[in-house]
């Protein structure tokens, strides 16, 4: 690449100078994303801005590759990768290092370990893979968002840039003078990717959301538009301009009406993708088209800085929320956005632009590639900025951690009901984490009941596995059914079964609350729910224990009558053999991720406690109590063993009550063994 004058010869920048409307489209996309993440009222679907970016990227990159082939009859992969290095990596690395630095100061200590991993993934273009795995895990998906979570979209694009030019080059070479083979290939890839995305979104939304194979169709849609550009240009300008306005309106409207309940990406992503195609097709420098708006100076300024705006806004918001220890106010959010604009401008002027003005890089592709490799190494090294250095037995773990729960199990029956109640009453006065905290904070994310490790609890079961514990020949049999909030009671129930020589059989699956036979809260749970009910009906259990997530928020988008009908139907189905039932009320729901909060409040534990009134969904509790209080069933509420009359403490005696944002720790579940055993014996004797 020769550039004696030192002018910017990046084809991307040259193309944008010719298509100023595309800069405007990028501005619209980044504004939607910023509004969504800043929680600006009304922009609940602003996340579709990323889909707009994908289409633009597919269109732009394909246009550049095809133009290069038309001009030189070849595609230089090294030149292409060198351009991507200069365009993407410098600003990306600066933001990663900046994020690690501010996170080291203000982010909760327990979040630093994951952030270190995320920074390494960002350096290796694999953040989307990391988050797909993390959010596919039912428990890890409850973790607070990473300051680098937005790098997932960069991972998708960077992986696309690795494979796509090779595909284009091969198909163009094989097709010789014709582009028919390339069009056919792109159409096939796009169609397959879209079909698979639609198919797996309902069952594996995290996989469909984060991974390239299921997002490739959005980039492919932009690529196909580039291939059909000449045909599109033959459409009357007045029609293209009209379609462009329609596309712009659709993008804005979907940004307003989509929300977290929208099944996405799937079919829903098709609307903003098609709208972006219409908007790009309308062209630039039009008299009446949307380019008249998109080419305004403010949109050009935002569009040219959209990459830096996207990179900076998310870590600023996330770290600010952590430092604030609460949701940000409108003024604080506005200050975060001002900081984003300032840092984006600095990144644009002193990082993005200078790279393109250094002849040494522009004149030598190999130097650019070596520079890219160096940036990757620096990124990997920078990840050690947040390598956690926890101190104190309250946070740190050791080789005896795994045995702490087992050790507790041997002594837990020493706690009488009165002793435990005294511990609860005294807990709000605890201000400093106990030195013998059980378990240490660093291992709470692994403090799952053993039912997980035994393969008896998962989030993908259709047919419940046969999992029995205690005395398998006992005449007294207990069934435990429900979601992960039922599984959290497994440890004390197994101890009770072993001590009383009872048989315990479990039927639990994450994310599937036992609301009803026909109208389960999740479509994917219905088959499992029916199979569980059938198992209970076909066996004769002495007692069935049901529990599930109900606190903090409503489970179903139904009226209270609809919710009541669901659980009434379940009650009838489970008591058809006159089996005795205990409905165990959900544990009070924390308003935060408890271990992470405690790691930031070692000397001020009380900052993590929460109000009882906010921790229990009173309306749902009353409905459940009304249905499960009958001749054959009992509604059991253990909230008094978690909370005083006003406060729900997160540390009781030396025990951490919750292992994450909603599940109780195995240690505290075991502490409630005697309390739970009394309830079981009362029901069995009744």
Neighbours of 9 (CB within 10 A): 16
Q: Is residue 390 part of a domain?
A: no
Q: Which residue has better confidence, 207 or 443?
A: 207
Same domain flag for 437 and 293: no
43 within some domain: yes
- What pLDDT does residue 52 have? 98
Whether residue 584 is found in the same domain as residue 436: yes
444 and 497 assigned to the same domain: yes
Same domain, 304 and 161: yes
Helix (H) or strand (E) holding 504: strand 503-509
Give the structural domain span for 261: 11-385
- Cβ atoms within 10 Å of 304's Cβ, excluding its own: 20
pLDDT at 496: 93
Residue 47: what pLDDT? 97
Tokens of 292: 């008249």
| 324 and 422 co-located in one domain | no
655: its two tokens:
């025990």
- How many angstroms separate the CA atoms of 184 and 171, rounded? 9
Rounded CA separation 169/76 (Å): 9
Helix orientation angle between 127-136 and 112-123, rounded to the nearest 10 degrees: 140
- Region of 37 (left: φ > 0; alpha: ψ -120 to 50; beta: rest) is alpha
Q: Could you say which of 385, 404, 428 is where a domain stops? A: 385
Please, what is the average pLDDT of the chain? 87
* Tokens matching residue 217: 């169709």
CATH number at residue 598: 3.40.50.1110
Asked whether residue 328 falls in the same domain as residue 425, the answer is no
Q: Are residues 348 and 423 in the same domain?
A: no
Per-residue tokens: 29: 């996309």
- For 601, phi and psi rounded to 5 degrees? -135, 50
Q: Can you say how many angstroms the Cα of residue 668 is from the centroid of all Cα atoms in its chain? A: 27
Tokens of 343: 């840092």
Task: Assess whether 480 and 340 both reside in one domain.
Answer: no
In the numeric block, the tokens 């997160």 are attached to 650
DSSP alpha helices (H): ranges in 501-608? 526-538, 560-574, 594-599
**Each residue of 473-482: pLDDT tens digit?**
999 999 999 9
Q: At what angle do helices 49-72 and 20-37 cross, to 10 degrees?
A: 150
Q: Identify whether 262 is part of a domain.
A: yes
Helical segments of 440-489, H only: 450-453, 484-487
SS3 call for 296: coil
What lies within 8 Å, CB to CB, of 536 at 6+ separation is: 479, 481, 507, 544, 574, 579
**Tokens at 521, concatenated:** 């809260």
How open is the CA angle 671-629-624, to the nearest 5 degrees? 75
The CA–CA distances, whole Å, from 124 to 93, 130, 267, 381 equal 11, 11, 30, 12
- Read off the pLDDT of residues 2-54 as tens digits, 9 standing for 90 and up: 333 333 445 555 554 568 999 999 999 999 999 999 999 999 999 999 999 99
Token representation of residue 639: 């909230």
Is residue 5 one of the residues assigned to a domain? no
Q: Is 555 part of a structural domain of the chain? A: yes
Is residue 95 situated within a structural domain?
yes
Rounded distance between C-alpha atoms, residue 97 and residue 195, angstroms: 38
Same domain, 177 and 315: yes
In a domain, 396, yes or no: no
Collect all residues with Cβ–Cβ distance below 8 Å to 170 and sequence separation of at least 6.
Answer: none
Q: pTM of the prediction? A: 0.84
Residues 425 and 333 in one domain: no
State yes or no: pLDDT of 81 exceeds 80.
yes
Are residues 30 and 94 located together in one domain of the fold? Answer: yes
Q: Which residues fall within 8 angstroms of residue 41, CB to CB, at 6 or more apart?
A: none
| Contact criterion met (CB below 8 Å) for 319 and 107 | yes
**Domain count of the chain?**
2
Query: What is the rounded average pLDDT of the residues 572-581?
Result: 83
Give the C-alpha separation, 476 to 510, whole Å. 27
For the segment 474-522, what is each residue's pLDDT rounded down to a tens digit?
A: 999 999 999 999 999 999 999 999 999 999 999 999 888 776 544 444 5
pLDDT over 70, % of the chain? 88
Q: What does the alpha-carbon distance between residue 642 and residue 652 come to, in Å, rounded to a whole number?
A: 9
Residue 345 lies in a domain: yes
Final residue before a domain boundary, out of 385, 403, 430: 385
Question: How far apart (Å, rounded) are the C-alpha atoms in residues 316 and 314?
Answer: 5
Distance CA(291)–CA(532), nearest Å, equals 58
Residues 202 and 315 in one domain: yes
């Amino acid at each position: 690449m020769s550039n004696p004058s030192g002018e910017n010869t990046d084809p991307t920048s040259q193309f944008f100078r010719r298509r100023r409307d595309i800069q405007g489209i990028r501005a619209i996309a980044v504004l939607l994303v910023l509004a969504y993440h800043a929680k600006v009222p009304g922009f609940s679907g602003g996340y579709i801005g990323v889909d707009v970016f994908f289409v633009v990227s597919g269109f732009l990159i394909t246009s550049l590759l095809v133009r290069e082939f038309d001009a030189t009859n070849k595609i230089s992969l090294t030149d292409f990768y060198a351009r991507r290095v200069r365009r993407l990596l410098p600003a990306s690395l600066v933001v990663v290092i900046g994020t690690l630095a501010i996170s080291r100061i203000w982010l909760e200590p327990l979040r630093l370990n994951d952030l270190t991993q995320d920074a390494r993934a960002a350096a290796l273009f694999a953040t989307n893979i990391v988050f797909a795995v993390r959010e596919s895990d039912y428990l890890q998906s409850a973790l607070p968002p990473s300051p680098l979570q937005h790098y997932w979209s960069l991972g998708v694009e960077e992986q696309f840039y690795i494979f796509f030019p090779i595909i284009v080059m091969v198909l163009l070479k094989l097709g010789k003078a014709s582009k028919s083979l390339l069009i056919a290939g792109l159409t096939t890839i796009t169609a397959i990717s879209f079909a698979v995305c639609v198919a797996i979104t309902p069952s594996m939304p995290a996989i469909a959301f984060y991974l390239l194979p299921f997002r490739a169709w959005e980039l492919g849609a932009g690529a196909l538009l580039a291939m059909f550009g000449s045909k599109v240009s033959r459409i009357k300008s007045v029609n293209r301009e009209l379609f462009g306005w329609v596309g712009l309106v659709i993008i804005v409207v979907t940004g307003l009406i989509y929300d977290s309940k929208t099944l996405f990406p799937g079919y829903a992503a098709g609307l903003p993708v098609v709208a972006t195609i219409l908007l790009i097709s309308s062209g630039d420098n039009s008299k009446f088209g949307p380019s008249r708006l998109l080419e305004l100076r403010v949109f050009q300024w935002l569009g040219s800085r959209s990459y830096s705006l996207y990179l900076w806004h998310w870590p600023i918001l996330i770290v600010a929320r952590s430092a604030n220890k609460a949701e940000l106010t409108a003024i604080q959010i506005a200050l975060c956005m001002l900081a984003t604009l300032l840092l984006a401008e600095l990144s644009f002027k002193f990082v993005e632009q200078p790279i393109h003005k250094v002849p040494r890089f522009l004149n030598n592709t190999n130097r650019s590639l070596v520079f890219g490799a160096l940036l990757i190494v620096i990124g990997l090294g920078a990840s050690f900025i947040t390598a956690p250095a926890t101190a104190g037995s309250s946070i740190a773990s050791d080789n005896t951690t795994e045995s702490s729960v087992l050790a507790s199990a041997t002594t837990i029956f020493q706690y009488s009901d009165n002793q435990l109640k005294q511990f609860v009453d005294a807990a709000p006065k605890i201000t400093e984490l106990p030195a013998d905290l059980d378990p240490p904070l660093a291992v709470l994310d692994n403090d799952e009941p053993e039912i997980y490790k035994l393969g008896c609890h998962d989030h993908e079961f259709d047919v419940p596995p046969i999992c029995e514990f205690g005395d398998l020949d006992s005449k007294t049999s207990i069934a435990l059914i429900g979601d992960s909030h039922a599984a959290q009671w497994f440890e004390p129930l197994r101890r009770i079964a072993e001590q009383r020589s009872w048989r315990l059989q479990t039927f639990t699956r994450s994310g599937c609350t036992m609301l009803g036979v026909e109208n389960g809260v999740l479509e994917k749970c219905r088959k499992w729910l029916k199979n569980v009910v059938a198992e209970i009906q076909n066996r004769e259990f002495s007692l069935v224990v049901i529990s599930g997530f109900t606190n903090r928020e409503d489970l179903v988008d139904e009226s209270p009558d609809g919710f009541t009908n669901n659980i009434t139907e379940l009650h009838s189905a489970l008591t058809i053999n006159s089996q005795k039932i205990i409905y165990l009320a959900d544990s009070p729901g924390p308003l935060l991720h408890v271990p992470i909060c405690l790691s930031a409040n070692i000397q001020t534990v009380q900052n993590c406690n929460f109000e009882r009134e906010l921790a229990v969904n009173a309306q749902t509790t009353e409905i459940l109590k009304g249905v499960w209080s009958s001749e054959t069933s009992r509604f059991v509420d253990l909230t008094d063993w978690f909370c005083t009359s006003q406060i729900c403490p997160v540390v009781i005696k030396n025990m951490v009550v919750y292992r994450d944002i909603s599940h109780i720790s195995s240690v505290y579940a075991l502490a409630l063994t005697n309390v739970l055993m009394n309830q079981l014996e009362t029901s069995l004797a009744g």
